[in-house]
Structure 1
Amino acid sequence: MKDSSVMKFCSTLSVLMLVGNLSYAMPGMHGAEGSGVTEPPAASKDMGAPINSSGSEIEITYSADGKTAIFVSTRKGSIESPGTPYNFDIWMARNVDGVWQEPIHLGPDIDPTVGPNINTAAWDLEPSFSDDGNVIYFTRYEPGNLLSGDLYVVQKVNGVWQSARNWNDVPELPSINTPTGEEHCPIIVSDSLIYFNYSQPGVTQESDIWKVEKKDGVWQKPVSLGAKINSPQRDHMHWTGVSKDGKSMVVTSTRVDPDSRGGHDMWISRQDANGEWQKPINLGDVINTSGEEMCWTFTPDGKKFTGSWGPHNTFDTDIRWISKEDIPLLKKFDPIGPPPNLLAKTRK
């Protein structure tokens, strides 16, 4: 069982969502009392301790060599967020001889040669290393403000991790954070194409998938991927969820659809001959249940699909994995690896 603060926060979040008639949930999650299925996908396996704890674990990604995992946890040692009993922080774990070591909190006590001090009283989520390990991209939400998600980046320079910066303050990155919207969890395909998740009152639906491209050295105005891949409900991606040929994308969605198993499900969308993203197809019962399958992504070797699962409408989540070969619609999916370091030219 998870820590009791998980369920307390669900009630708190429900109240927050009612203030100002907000219909937005936390990124990749619901915020109501739990119900329904209590068993994870049968083919999946629990990552186990020390990755999982009595807290909630979500949003795991890996270094290019697969020997370091970075993920979000509410375990003991996370920084308290004012106004809520639920504390999202980013943690890092090393794999030594096939065994995951005790996770390290990326907070004020860390040696800057080991990792960055990026955790705050805010909600810090959705981390990913760059392919060279010298950058971590992540999203930061102010506690209690469900529309405040902004993209951040932290860079290692000459072996020392620096302070985190808002994307809008980094010339190499597109200035896409807004004062009133939620921008989160991008997929950085290259130095000229970034997909990202976007929620903006009066502009998007609950959460839509957009892209921003660089042309002639200049980042262009972001555009939506369209009505077929995006639904009125929450649609978003997670790191490495695009195929190397750029024609397939793995999507997390709460869409109301006859093929939905309930809660968040994992889906796949493909481009047609004209490059238009099509309506996503549910990945099926081998991975989806009526619970919450959220933010699944791939290990660097492309062989495992990893992400979080919890009962419907709860934050009671653990990180699990399943062989990609066990998911029929993913057998031929060849995922991209960790995102490129777009700050590489300024690392010294």
Structure 2
Amino acid sequence: MKEKCFISNCKVLTLPALMLTLNVSYAMPGMHGSGGEAATEHPRVSSSIAGKINSSGSEMEITYSADGKTAIFVSTREGSIQSPGGNYSFDIGMSHLVGGEWQEPIHLGPGIDPKVGPNINTTAWELEPSFSDDGNVIYFTRYEPGNMLSGDLYVVQKVDGVWQSARNWNDVPELPNINTPTGEEHCPIIASDSLIYFSYHQPGVTQDSDIWKVEKKDGVWQKPESLGPKINSPQRDHMHWTGLSKDGKSLIITSMRTDLGSRGGHDEWISHQNADGEWQEPVNLGDAVNTGGEDMCWTFTPDGKKFTGSWGPYGTYDMDIRSINKDDVPLLKNFEPIGPPPNLLINSQSKSK
């Protein structure tokens, strides 16, 4: 694959890029799989996303602006800020769609014009980004390199056309205070201004990463609660942004569960609510999306026609972003996804420090 780098960093950073190859790969915590050929077999139906988003590094966790003309995603391509003590350097990049092709990504890090994008990339891991529906907010997660229990939710806001500094959710009055010093809070789906689903890993409280929710009642965010034992497994369960149906009764999840038809590694699944509002055991989305490798963090384009996400060989973060027509996934034909999350800071005009 042709080498590619972030636009803003191609000439100014001299740190060597961390390129992930099958000869230098590292397992993610808790990974499982069948091994053998199935662990490296490419997906049968989806194809690599067109344009310049994918590189010889790793790309994953893509989402889109409401008009579908800007993509934001995670990359380890050349120009990423080197993370200390780890094997990966995860940064957030942004690409624009021009003439039907995704352009060379812009690194959202030091030196960027704040009218173009926010400076959010650091030596930490920046992951799981999403624009708000009006494009004036980016939600994301930040981790200490290699420490999955350090994940906290962050937000950065554009005020009067200028991107401000990123803030921890706990420091933003409009957002629920759910970040903890000992747990992982990540991969939310903001269903409305009063309901947020999020992924939560807290030793002694959750199994691994479980799916929880937090609701606002009478203007006050309540205590978070688990979605229950059927949708959650002993393995890692989480979500990715637009994977909720418009009626709020179906949810796309990424899970490492080993039962119910798992293909191995991370798979994509769908869970439905019953008549009592209880989330049921998920159903595997099948071979159109899932493989014996890592199929992670799939989500929908804003028009609801494409299902896009990441695939890589089992046990690695050596991923590319892929795409498939939603209707080519049998269990998704009648799924109508929500769009990008609402801007919960829309009434906040104070600039962050």
TM range (shorter): over 0.9
Deviations 1:255-291, CA, capped at 9 Å, x for gaps: 0114111111100000000000000001111111111
Residue 20 of structure 1: aligned partner: none
Counterpart check, 1:254 vs 2:256: yes
Give the match's secondary structure for 1:325: helix
Q: Do the aligned partners of 2:266 and 2:293 also contact (CA within 8 Å) in 1?
A: yes
User: How far is 1:31 from its partner?
Assistant: 9.6
Q: 1:345 aligns with which of 330, 344, 347?
A: 347
Give the match's secondary structure for 2:223: coil
Q: Do the aligned partners of 1:60 and 1:71 also contact (CA within 8 Å) in 2?
A: yes
Residue 67 of structure 1: aligned partner: 69
User: How far is 1:39 from its partner?
Assistant: 2.7
Deviations 1:190-230, CA, capped at 9 Å, x for gaps: 00000000000000001100000000000000000000000
Q: 2:192 aligns with which of 190, 193, 198?
A: 190
Query: 1:224 is aligned with what amino acid?
Result: S
Query: 1:304 is aligned with what amino acid?
Result: K
Query: 1:219 is aligned with what amino acid?
Result: W
User: How far is 1:5 from its partner?
Assistant: 4.1
User: How far is 1:315 from its partner?
Assistant: 1.2
Q: How does 1:196-235 map to 2 (within 5 A)?
A: 196-235=198-237
TM-score, with normalisation over the residues of structure 2? 0.91
Query: 1:307 is aligned with what amino acid?
Result: G
Q: Do the aligned partners of 2:95 and 2:105 also contact (CA within 8 Å) in 1?
A: yes
Unaligned residue ranges in structure 1 (runs of 5+): 15-23
Q: How does 1:262-281 map to 2 (within 5 A)?
A: 262-281=264-283
**CA RMSD for the aligned pairs?**
1.9
- Compared CA separation, residues 31 and 113, structure 1 to 2 (3 A): farther
Residue 13 of structure 2: aligned partner: none
Counterpart check, 1:45 vs 2:47: yes
Q: Do the aligned partners of 1:234 and 1:254 also contact (CA within 8 Å) in 2?
A: yes
Residue 60 of structure 2: aligned partner: 58
Deviations 1:309-335, CA, capped at 9 Å, x for gaps: 011111111000000000110000000
- Compared CA separation, residues 6 and 211, structure 1 to 2 (3 A): farther
Residue 169 of structure 2: aligned partner: 167
Alpha-carbon separation, structure 2, partners of 1:213 and 1:312? 36
User: How far is 1:40 from its partner?
Assistant: 2.2
Counterpart check, 1:152 vs 2:154: yes
Alpha-carbon separation, structure 1, partners of 2:100 and 2:240? 25
Give the match's secondary structure for 1:194: strand
Identity of aligned residues (%): 74
Counterpart check, 1:105 vs 2:107: yes
Q: Do the aligned partners of 1:128 and 1:239 also contact (CA within 8 Å) in 2?
A: yes
Give the match's secondary structure for 2:96: strand
Q: Do the aligned partners of 2:19 and 2:56 also contact (CA within 8 Å) in 1?
A: no
Unaligned residue ranges in structure 2 (runs of 5+): 4-17
Q: Do the aligned partners of 2:256 and 2:265 also contact (CA within 8 Å) in 1?
A: yes
Alpha-carbon separation, structure 1, partners of 2:21 and 2:83? 13
Deviations 1:37-68, CA, capped at 9 Å, x for gaps: 32322110101441000000000000000000
Q: Do the aligned partners of 2:32 and 2:264 also contact (CA within 8 Å) in 1?
A: no
Count of residue correspondences: 334
Counterpart check, 1:296 vs 2:309: no
- Compared CA separation, residues 95 and 203, structure 1 to 2 (3 A): same
Residue 128 of structure 1: aligned partner: 130
Alpha-carbon separation, structure 1, partners of 2:179 and 2:305? 33
Give the match's secondary structure for 2:87: coil
Residue 121 of structure 2: aligned partner: 119
Q: Do the aligned partners of 2:50 and 2:102 also contact (CA within 8 Å) in 1?
A: no
Alpha-carbon separation, structure 1, partners of 2:264 and 2:101? 34
Give the match's secondary structure for 1:300: coil
Residue 7 of structure 2: aligned partner: none
Give the match's secondary structure for 1:168: helix
Give the match's secondary structure for 1:345: coil
Alpha-carbon separation, structure 1, partners of 2:220 and 2:147? 31
Alpha-carbon separation, structure 1, partners of 2:240 and 2:349? 25
User: How far is 1:86 from its partner?
Assistant: 1.2
Residue 336 of structure 1: aligned partner: 338
User: How far is 1:146 from its partner?
Assistant: 2.0
Query: 2:171 is aligned with what amino acid?
Result: D
Q: Do the aligned partners of 1:268 and 1:280 also contact (CA within 8 Å) in 2?
A: yes
Alpha-carbon separation, structure 1, partners of 2:24 and 2:345? 37
Q: 4+ residue runs of structure 1 moved beyond 2 angstroms?
A: 1-11, 34-40
Alpha-carbon separation, structure 1, partners of 2:167 and 2:19? 33
TM-score, with normalisation over the residues of structure 1? 0.92
Q: Do the aligned partners of 1:74 and 1:87 also contact (CA within 8 Å) in 2?
A: yes
Residue 19 of structure 1: aligned partner: none
Give the match's secondary structure for 2:199: strand
Residue 9 of structure 2: aligned partner: none
Alpha-carbon separation, structure 1, partners of 2:202 and 2:336? 32
